[in-house]
Chains A and B, each alone.
Chain A
Amino acid sequence: MKGITLDYFIRRLGVFVLTVWIAATLIYIIPRVAPGDPIAAMVSRMSQQAGYIENSDKIIEGWRKRFGLDDPWYVQYGRYLRNLVTFDFGYSLATFPTTVREIVVRAMPWTIGLLSISTALFFVIGNLLGALLAWKKTPAFVKVLIPASMVFTSVPSLLAGLMLLYFFAFQLDWFPSLGAYGRGITPGWNWPFIKSAIWHSILPAASIVVVTFGYWTLGMRGMMITVEGEDYMTLAQAKGLRPFYTLYRYMIRNAILPQITALALTLGTLVGGQVLVEYIFSYQGMGNAIFTAIRNQDYPVIQGTSYILILTTALAVFIMDMLYPLIDPRISHEGS
């Protein structure tokens, strides 16, 4: 095994920093170059909800000062970037004096937990089914069942969540309808809590898994067909290797590589889907925090939570980039 070259590491690290910077800058610039005054818009929306707001001009004035909007743009931008780097997002407007950081620390573990479980599930299930779909020795009835299991593919996870919530929580009452764990249970390393947490995570995880694994099944099937045409497959057959060994050591082992690259590329979309599913199930992760903040016009929380999620996604991609050479021996050579 060749180690990761320094060049490879630096390039990937650069991509990581660049990703976060681009996203942060987009968030910063677009509202400012877009027509209309964001603060005025915010106040007008507040008045829409609250009816009439007294002294709205003064509120606007006060906020402009608060956000330092009267400073030159580069001072504002510099301050903005500095706050991001130091994770200083200030206080929540709606639940003062809670800091944004506290909200993130509370919500993040739930999001990461749910996302890792559902990602692991759909990736394993999807690729396994795709491999079976392409494998010549798979029994015919399995090859009929697999496409049938994929009917929900392409349905957005948020819609799947709605349906699962309606049928399995409200109609059948098999699963809890909201939250990440039962009321009155103290979070900690105790069995009732763990049981409750698992129980509450089944529907949200399922709504991501049932609509997502089909993509990976289709992708894997395509990759398997490509691998099947490779010369080394002919040789594997000529060698008289056992079919199952050939399946995992020659076919899946090679077909999975592009799938892992694809996983890194779709991570952003996944996080987006997860945010919405959390919202549908009132699952107390980042998605729910974001929604609550949107409803409360709590801009610092919206910005802080979104930024942390973007940062985490980019970090996950970076970690995958670092681990990829371990499974594809060719990669560290490609760059040089």
Chain B
Amino acid sequence: MATVSAAPKRKVSRFNRFDNPWLNPYLLTGVVLILIILLGALIGRVAWDSNLALVGSSPLKQPPVGFSHTTLRGTSVGTWEHPLGTDGDGRDMLAVMIVGAPRTLAIGFIAAAAGMAIGILLGFMAGFMGGRVDDIIRIASDTTITIPSILVLIVIQSVIPVNLIGMALLISAFAWPGPTRLIRGQVLSMRESGYVKMARISGASTFDIMFREMMPNLIPYLAASFIGNMQGSILAAIGLEVLGLGPQRVPTLGKSIYWSVQLSGLSQGLWWWWGFPALILVVIFVGLLLINLGLDEVSNPRLRRKVE
């Protein structure tokens, strides 16, 4: 009579790698990608002349180093003077990247931070106060979340001029429902859980319960929500810039794409004009996505057992 053979030996190392969930490969790779962008911009500020990001500071339509570009007027070859080439208005692309990339991240960060601050406040208010307050906050967040925010922003920004901070704050007007819903839900479920009740019985104040007992558990969720908001906010900012809105005089990644589309950079084959800004943005978005996937594994252990 046959007996079942033992299942194939499982590698124990697979588990060890996840002993500290915060050290998962997604999260680390994502953080590294974002750091590369930030460090690159920081080094660039020192090592490169950011005035070259201004119109007319450089020759027009120069290709990047190692490439050549042929038009009816002749062939131009990339030089180390402008390693990433120049755009149709005579901006050095490297300088535009150095100036534009941190701006993009800054908008995302400011908008997400403001949205998070509002969200934490409203979420805790809704969860703890309940009743009317809860109803109003819940309905407001449920409705705001379905509004196509970029359209509202388009209408507003086509009327009033904004600077970078103004744009970020306007975007944050749509970045609060996510964290609000998240915190409200968590507060409601945690209020019922044992340790918060215990803390309450033992006489801890509401404030103490919020920040000492509940915050640590909320951190991976909040971080994920924050990153999600950064994605959304950067997307909104880029969208507005690409449509020709947003801060007018400062070079940004979105503005670069706007000009390249407007001045037919695509049909002329000037790929570096829109390609480098797009590349930086793709790296930023992939980085943020990886961070979010990583955070997902931190807060949802069931996902850690991966497909083999």
Contacts and interface: CB of A to CB of B under 8 A. Distances in A.
Query: Are A and B in direct contact (Cβ within 8 Å)?
Result: yes
Interface in B245-289: 245, 257, 261, 266-267, 269, 271, 274-275, 278, 281-282, 285-286, 288-289
Interface stretch (B91-99, B115-123, B197-205, B231-239): B231-239
Contact of A294 (B243, B271, B274): B243
4 closest Cβ pairs, A-B complex: A154-B289, A272-B150, A268-B148, A306-B151
Interface stretch (A20-28, A74-82, A198-206, A247-255): A20-28
Contacts of A163: 278
B11 to A, nearest CB: 17
B151 A155 contact: no
Contacts of B173: 26, 30
Interface stretch (B40-48, B74-82, B152-160, B186-194): B152-160
Contacts of B140: 22
Interface in A113-149: 133, 140, 143
Interface bin, chain A = 35 or more
16 contacts: A30-B170, A34-B166, A41-B159, A155-B285, A218-B293, A222-B296, A222-B300, A269-B149, A271-B148, A272-B239, A275-B150, A294-B154, A294-B244, A297-B158, A302-B155, A307-B155
B139 interface: yes
A241 B144 CA distance: 44
B234 to A, nearest CB: 8
A272 B308 CA distance: 37
A313 interface: yes
B242 interface: yes
A269 B159 contact: no
Contact of B245 (A38, A280, A294): A294
B278 A27 contact: no
A109 interface: no
B243 A290 contact: yes
B158 A269 contact: no
B307 interface: yes
A134 B143 CA distance: 32
Contact of A170 (B154, B160, B266): B266
A38 B159 contact: yes
Interface of B: 139-140, 142-152, 154-156, 158-161, 166, 170, 173, 231-232, 235-236, 238-239, 242-245, 257, 261, 266-267, 269, 271, 274-275, 278, 281-282, 285-286, 288-289, 293, 296, 300, 302-303, 307-308
Contact of B261 (A273, A275, A280): A280
- Chain B, interface SS category: helix
Interface in A294-310: 294-295, 297, 299, 302-303, 306-307, 309-310
- Chain A, interface SS category: helix
Contacts of A140: 308
Contact of A22 (B147, B231, B244, B289): B147
A15 B147 contact: no
Interface of A: 15, 18-19, 22-23, 26-27, 30-31, 34, 36, 38, 41-42, 45, 133, 140, 143, 153-156, 158-159, 162-163, 165-166, 170-171, 177, 218, 222, 225-226, 229, 264-265, 267-269, 271-273, 275-276, 279-280, 290-291, 293-295, 297, 299, 302-303, 306-307, 309-310, 313-314, 317
A42 B243 contact: no
A155 B244 CA distance: 20
Contacts of A302: 154-155, 158
Contacts of B288: 154
Contacts of B161: 36, 41, 45
B147 A19 contact: yes
A289 to B, nearest CB: 12
Given A273-B235, A276-B242, 20 more contacts: A19-B144, A19-B146, A19-B147, A30-B160, A34-B160, A34-B166, A36-B160, A154-B289, A158-B242, A218-B293, A222-B300, A222-B303, A267-B146, A268-B149, A269-B148, A272-B150, A280-B242, A294-B154, A294-B243, A314-B147
B115 to A, nearest CB: 14
B279 to A, nearest CB: 9
Contacts of B149: 268-269, 272
A170 B146 contact: no
A26 B152 contact: yes
B274 A295 contact: no
Contacts of A133: 307
Contact of B243 (A155, A156, A226, A291): A291
Contacts of B155: 27, 302-303, 306-307
Given A26-B152, A154-B231, A226 B302 contact: yes
Nearest to B262: A295
B142 A15 contact: yes
A306 B146 contact: no
Nearest to B287: A154
Contact of B238 (A158, A279, A290): A158
A309 B146 contact: no
B302 A271 contact: no
Nearest to A225: B302
Contact of A272 (B151, B269, B296, B302): B151
